[in-house]
A and B are shown apart, each in its own frame.
Chain A
């Protein structure tokens, strides 16, 4: 049943992406395959460009912040559990909830900008969310906030597995502080990097809820991502073939990231 609902449905959508479907699925193949039309659409180009920008920044910043938090927490601090829970709780929330909260925090008329004005800086401007060129960075901020705690958890698991003997040996050789991390510890965190990257990348490609709650894709279409494009063209613009085609492209993008990962996981299992 699962096989049918996942792979059968994927096949169905792939087929649709070559047809003339508009409002309802049609089984006639299109003369000009929809992909050509898709690539000419400026809305799709914009969505794809936004996705590149968004996922690059989102993955980079989440990795950086997550790793930083993991290293800080790994310094045998007091209240470790409390800090960990605080950094990780956003993962338990819905993107719709956090999107709503951030929407008003970033809104210049009531949020951050206004609060800074009230603190005595009347010329402070922070209206990215209303600015077509900058709104996508607001999505990045909220998304990094939501998931960097998860990256932290992954890295923390990695740090706890670092070979302590190597660390002690390095300490004897006089390696200290940040240099020790840079030279000895971080190179050992490869697996954490890879899992974090795969998770973040596939989340970035699938991001939909957050954009809808935070900006609704706007202002205008400034924060459209391919996921928004699929939904809009399939359900509101009655261009099902185009929607299907871009969904297929999303699947391909995810596959490029995920399939090597799944394969290596399976190989590890086969030869423990």
Chain B
């Protein structure tokens, strides 16, 4: 064999391996979609990877508006709404507070700023199991136990760590001369923040919003601990739907439900994957 043949073989092998891996990675989502439009008998009688013989949207309708999750057969729809009612304010608040924190930490010389930042950085890693009991107690005392508002509070508080991390690293690179000269012109604390820093933070705001949205939407632990039938977020409702042991297991409805729960974050990923990756990296490596 001459050189170019071996080269060609190597390339072919490379693409074959990559293609195989890609198939493996896509398989679960393919299985989810294909089986969510099959009638139940077809799943039971056939296999998971074949295309549907007679496609139907019935499982989707079931999952969306008819499946029994709480006391009423409401489907996932109200929980989908709960998740949005929880995510939107929580993302807004944690972004706002995170950016303020980042601003204070970078633009003002304070004693203990490094220590404070270290404490915040560590807080994004803690296992949240450790705060469950006191948080439950606090929510109970505030009268927010089992409500969507309570979940908003919880997610805001624990979203601040990441928010601060993103904004601090971003503002560290912000030209100090600009801030200094603005301050000489007499700009106060909030004016400076509102007029100068915030308008220039668009990229990091996008990163943070996407990151928080994905995290909070996908949360299960807090949802399972602090909500009840009326305030379940979608992940908890889905898990109840799938693991409820009564009656026939309606796999197609489960797959449809799982896909519904995946859809918002998947859309965000497809539309703005670049920012999502930036969030991932900023949350892990360094600033």
Contacts and interface: CB of A to CB of B under 8 A. Distances in A.
A126 to B, nearest CB: 12
B218 A25 contact: no
A41 interface: no
A3 interface: yes
B125 A1 contact: no
Interface string A244-272: 10011011001100110011011011100
A22 to B, nearest CB: 12
Contacts of B49: 115
Given A2-B161, A6-B123, A73-B18, A230 B129 contact: yes
A192 to B, nearest CB: 8
Nearest to A244: B133
B22 A96 contact: no
B242 A100 contact: yes
Contacts of B129: 206, 208, 227, 230-231, 247, 250
Contacts of A95: 218, 220
B217 A5 contact: no
A102 B25 CA distance: 12
A181 interface: no
A153 B280 contact: yes
A206 B127 contact: yes
Given A77-B14, A110-B48, A195-B284, A3 B125 contact: no
B262 A94 contact: yes
Contacts of B158: 5-6
Given A101-B29, A104-B48, A110-B44, A94 B114 contact: no
B18 A9 contact: no
A114 B239 CA distance: 24
Interface in A214-228: 216, 227
Interface stretch (B175-183, B191-199, B265-273): B265-273
Interface in A57-76: 69, 72-73, 75
- Chain B, interface size category, equals 35 or more
Interface string A81-123: 0010111111111111110111111000011101101110000
Interface in A221-243: 227, 230-231, 234-235, 240, 243
A202 interface: yes
B285 interface: yes
Contact of B43 (A98, A110, A255): A110
Contact of A118 (B27, B46, B224): B46
A5 B32 contact: no
B188 interface: no
Contacts of A198: 284
A205 B127 contact: yes
Given A103-B242, A254-B126, A9 B135 contact: yes
B211 to A, nearest CB: 11
Interface string A1-44: 11101111110110010000000010000000000000000000
B183 to A, nearest CB: 24
A96 B268 CA distance: 18
Contact of A13 (B131, B235, B243, B268): B131
A97 B133 contact: no
Contacts of A72: 14, 17-18, 21
B268 to A, nearest CB: 7
Nearest to B210: A92
A254 B131 CA distance: 14
A154 interface: yes
A104 B251 contact: yes
Contact of B126 (A3, A10, A117): A10
A266 B117 contact: yes
Rank and list the top 10 A-B pairs by shortest CB-CB distance, nearest first: A94-B218, A115-B47, A92-B269, A209-B220, A9-B134, A9-B131, A100-B258, A118-B47, A12-B134, A101-B28
27 contacts: A2-B120, A2-B157, A5-B131, A6-B123, A9-B130, A9-B135, A10-B131, A13-B130, A13-B131, A89-B25, A90-B25, A93-B218, A95-B220, A96-B235, A101-B28, A102-B28, A105-B27, A145-B24, A154-B281, A157-B281, A208-B221, A216-B243, A247-B130, A250-B130, A251-B127, A268-B286, A270-B114
Interface of A: 1-3, 5-10, 12-13, 16, 25, 69, 72-73, 75, 77, 83, 85-98, 100-105, 110-112, 114-115, 117-119, 145, 149-150, 153-154, 157, 191, 195, 198-199, 202, 205-206, 208-209, 212-213, 216, 227, 230-231, 234-235, 240, 243-244, 247-248, 250-251, 254-255, 258-259, 262-263, 265-266, 268-270
